[in-house]
Amino acid sequence: MNRLGVNLAGLNLSNPTMLASGILGYSVETLESIVEGGAGAVVTKSIGLEPRDGYANPTVVQVSCGLINAIGLPNPGIEEFTSEIRAAKTALNVPLIVSVYGFSEEEYATVSKKAADAGADAVELNVSCPHVKETGSEIGQSLEILSKVVRKVKEVMEKPVFVKLSHNVTNLTDIAEVAAKSGADALTVINTVKAMAIDAETAMPILSNKRGGLSGPAIKPIAIRSVYDIYERVKTPIIGCGGIANWRDAVEFLLAGASAIQIGTAIALRGPNVFSAITRGMETYLKRKGVKSVKEIVGLSHRR
């Protein structure tokens, strides 16, 4: 029996670990190496309607307990990327989720439909990128726009639609509820947290975009709280994300209410095998606790 298997909005994952969007998610070969590393599902880089070059360097600043990035959503555009999706679908034996961003509800819908038609098992709407104007957080902050985007995407495709939320809002649980009511099949919580770094010698912001988003261990407590709060409010499955680097972190997210988890920055620390290391640790934990399925611990801390 596989204690770690989960059904996430209809997708069967052999274990609850997933690759977070934007990390090595451009090519079939790198996605394959992540799957070999033990990931239960993979999410691609966020893809838009048109190709985008992203920002000039510096695009990443390493800080205590994490890193700040403003890569600027570089991607080849959905037309070019469909061949990669098709190839990935045949090469990978785990669910393939394509992350999608757009500048309007139509763009989200068009890109999502093309991704699904090319073979994506689900899409994840990135409505929470903290460093690109007019996509991402502007959409994820407005209850009205968010609802329109999710409904529009649900209209054009049948496969599951995940919505990735940001903590950079005053009413996270309201936003989660609206996403759920508009038809989201799962909520990914959270994207990077608004952040910045300035160099003392030159008095200059380091990132070329000046502002960026923080990831890594520094944001884990913020993400845990976000998952915990949303779990109390909505029934939609939650995918926890933010600062997960070992099995304890992963278990903490499940206890807070996440059905699955995503890993990004820790790949810089531990390489693609971080997935199997976390999975093994979780399995030992479940055995030790006498728990037959990982599902039994989802949200367990709410009952304590």
Ligand X SMILES: Cc1cc2nc3c(=O)[nH]c(=O)nc-3n(C[C@H](O)[C@H](O)[C@H](O)COP(=O)(O)O)c2cc1C
Q: Just list the catalytic residues.
A: 129
Pairing label, strands 211-215, 193-196: antiparallel
Residue 278 touches another protein, criterion: CB under 8 A: no
Q: Least distance (Å) from ligand X to the CB of residue 173? A: 19
Q: Is the peptide bond before 190 cis (omega within 30 degrees of 0)?
A: yes
CA 231 – CA 281 distance, rounded (Å)? 24
Contact stretch for another protein (CB under 8 A) within 65-73, 110-118, 184-192, 223-231:
65-73
Q: Determine phi and psi for 72, rounding to 5 degrees.
A: 90, 30
The interface mask with another protein, positions 223-262, x = CB under 8 A, is ----------------------------------------
Please give the size of the binding site for another protein, defined by CB under 8 A. Answer: 47
**Minimum gap (Å) between residue 108 Cβ and ligand X:** 13
In whole angstroms, the minimum distance from the beta carbon of 1 to another protein comes to 32
- Decide: is 26 part of the binding site for another protein (CB under 8 A): yes
Phi-psi region of 242 (alpha: psi -120 to 50; beta: other; left: phi over 0): left
Q: What is the closest distance, in whole angstroms, from the C-beta atom of residue 223 to another protein in the complex?
A: 18
> Do the bridges between strand 193-196 and strand 186-189 make them parallel or antiparallel, or are there none, so unpaired?
unpaired
**Candidate segments 53-61, 127-135, 219-227, 253-261, binder of another protein by CB under 8 A:** 53-61
Could you give the C-alpha distances from 112 to 46, 47, 88, 177, 245, in angstroms and in order?
A: 11, 9, 16, 22, 30
Question: With CB under 8 A as the contact rule, which of the stretches 71-79, 144-152, 182-190, 280-288 interacts with another protein?
Answer: 71-79
Cβ neighbours around 225 below 10 Å, total: 15
Task: Kindly tell me which of 80 and 155 has the beta carbon lying closer to another protein.
Answer: 80
Q: Which is nearer to ligand X, 202 or 219 (CB)?
A: 219
Q: Is the peptide bond before 205 cis (omega within 30 degrees of 0)?
A: no
Among 264, 278, 286, 298, indicate the residue that binds another protein (CB under 8 A). 264
| Residue 269 makes contact with another protein by CB under 8 A | yes
For 228, list phi and psi in degrees, rounded to 5: -60, -45
137-196 binders of another protein (CB under 8 A): none
Which of ligand X, another protein, none lies near 243, with the C-beta cut-off 5 to 8 A by kind?
ligand X
Considering the complex, state which of residue 59 and residue 182 has its C-beta at the smaller distance from another protein.
59
Q: Could you say which of 106, 155, 199, 232 contacts another protein (CB under 8 A)?
A: 199
20 binds, among another protein, ligand X, none (CB under 5 to 8 A by kind): ligand X
Q: Residue 242 binds what, of ligand X, another protein, none (CB under 5 to 8 Å, by partner type)?
A: ligand X
Question: Given the DSSP bridges, would you call strands 6-8 and 17-19 parallel, antiparallel or unpaired?
Answer: unpaired
Stretch near another protein under the rule CB under 8 A, chosen from 20-28, 92-100, 166-174, 183-191: 20-28
Applying CB under 6 A, which residues contact ligand X? 20-23, 45-46, 69, 71, 73, 99, 126, 164, 191-192, 215-216, 219, 241-244, 263-266
